[in-house]
Structure formats: structure tokens, C-alpha cells
Amino acid sequence: MMNTMTSETTVAIAVPLEAELVDRIRAVDPSVTVLYDPELLPPERFPADHSGDPDFKRTPEQEERYWTMLNRAQVLYGLPNESPAGLARIARENPLLQWVHAMAAGAGGAVKASGLDQESLQKFKVTTSAGVHALPLAEFAALGILNGFKRSAELAQDQAAKKWPELRTPTRLVSGSTLVVTGLGEIGLETARIARALGMKVSGTKRTVEPIEGIEQVADNDGLPGLLASADAVVNTLPGTPFTEKLFNREVFSAMKPGTVFVNVGRGTVVDEDALLEALDNGQVSYACLDVFAVEPLPQDSALWNHSRVMVSPHTSALSAAENRLIAERFCGNLRTFLDGGDLPHLVDTVHFY
């Protein structure tokens, strides 16, 4: 079925974006009008800085122009002001709104934080940029696995101390080892692909248990402890939802075999950080590579900062110089689907918010 808005679809660019990428969106179809005023958008401080410079302030006149522009559109590229409050406001003010494309893969949290009720959330769709970040996150996960297996933390300490150990310590072989990936979505499957290229055997979890090509075993979260018994490394890619809150607790860490390497590129709330620290100290976990934390920025008093076998990454592992282009390309494909009346991919689930 053709979308009834095809003859007059207006897209508003709500977040910073390069002019050439805006032109790509314009080129999707002659029926599309793109509203874009860089003067109303904060400058980027780094590639794919969707929030832009926090010191940027619109004049009252510019603020009025910004919201007038957004309220003319059926489709938004980005959340207004890249914030839950902006989403709540546009939902109240724009009766034309049909679809918002969010920059984040985990945009469900922002949708939930907007406080919109179910009736409001049914009036328009929110899609995420899930999948755009799959490759950089998977590469970072591979870095974490390799760091753990090749003792990079110990090497760095010895180098800092100019220490040449008398006894040579072997590193662990990645090839032939077993990886468990919690969350076999796009990020998890890309991680599995890279891990298999390194010679690893991969199992993992999925809400809907079904065979997946190249994956040895698939289980749900209840079956996770059983998978962990034979795992040499674990990569979490799960989003933060009520179902994943502190999934990695003492019981789950104790199900791991001693020396397991743990990587988290999902959400920090999936891990009980006190239980992780215990697992690091008792040897269940030999090394932890963490890009996400329960509270961000990571509090200054967190023991994770100074732990000798923890890598702290400030939630930046998904970021690449290509991100804006990849998201714009994803949006262009989605826009074509929208104009043709198809089903949009990567919709935010307004019940579970992921």
C-alpha cells in the first residue's frame, strides 16, 4: 500500500548533520521536502556529535523557528534537541508526526524517559540506528577478548615498571576457545562473525530460541549459566531493559569457569558491578573490558577505574568517523520504505523500550 503522505512528505533535520548528507536525503524521492537550517543546530565537537556543543544557545527567535520547522514535518531526523524532553514536546505539538528516526541504537531509553503515555506513543513510530554500530562494537569486543587472552594489562604494568620477568608467561590461544554472546542481535552476530574468523566457537542467547547458522548453541537468559560453564570469553550486547537488569549477578558470574574474559558493549545496567568486582578478585573473571557502566560518567569513587585487570572505555566504542554517513544511509533506505508504505525496521518496542 502506498503511503498517503507520499505527495507531500516533509522531513525536518532536528540534529547536527553535514549538508552533503542532507542532500542525500533530499535525493531519495522528488516528493520529499527536507527542512534543514544549520544555523538552528549546534555545531558538532567531534564526528557524529548528535547533541552538538552544549554551550550552543538559540536566541528566542531561533528557538521559535526551530520548533516551527519541526512542527511542519511528518518525519524527523533525530530527536528534537537530541533529548527525551524534546521528543515529549514534539509529540504534544505536532499532529502531523508519523515517524522519528533516532540516532542511537538504544533509543528505547530516551523514548521511555520522555514519559509519553501509550496513547501518545501509538500516534507515531520511532526507529533506531541499531546495526549502524554493529561493526565498531564487534571490533571493540574482539579487542577486549584479545586483550584478555594476550595479557595486555599485565604487559602494560610491566612496561610502566620497566620490568622484564624472569619467567616467561604463556598467553592463551584465541583459536579453539569458546565465546558466549548475550544478545544475538546485529551487534552480537557481527561479534560472532569476527570471533569465528579468529577460530572461536560461538554460542549465545536470544529471547526467541531458534537455530542460527554458525552458532553452536542458542539459549534464552534462563539457559545462560549452562552456556557459561564452557565459555572462555563472554561478550554482552544486551540493551538495558527490566528483563536484563543485573542479569550478570553473583550467581551468573559464579557459573563462569575461572579465568573467563568479560566484555560489555551493551548497557551497564545489565551487570551488577559489585558482583563483577568480586568475580575479578576471586579469579572467575580474569579481565574485563567495559565500554558501558550502570552510572555514566563512571563515578570517581568506582573501584573499576583503578582495577589492574579492567579496561574502562567512556562509552565511545561505537563511535567511528563514518557514523553520520552510515546513519544517513540507513535513514535514506528507511525513508524509501516509508514512502512505499512498507514496514519500518528497528522500531522501538513501546512496551519493553528497546
Per annotation, catalytic residue among 63, 251, 296, 336: 296
The answer to whether 107 and 126 are in contact (CB under 8 A) is yes
- Name residue 266's amino acid: G
Active-site residue flag, 267: yes
Active-site residue flag, 278: no
Per annotation, catalytic residue among 193, 196, 250, 315: 315
Active-site residue flag, 186: no
Per annotation, catalytic residue among 50, 151, 267, 346: 267
CA atoms of 5 and 7, how far apart (whole Å):
6
Catalytic residues: 267, 296, 315
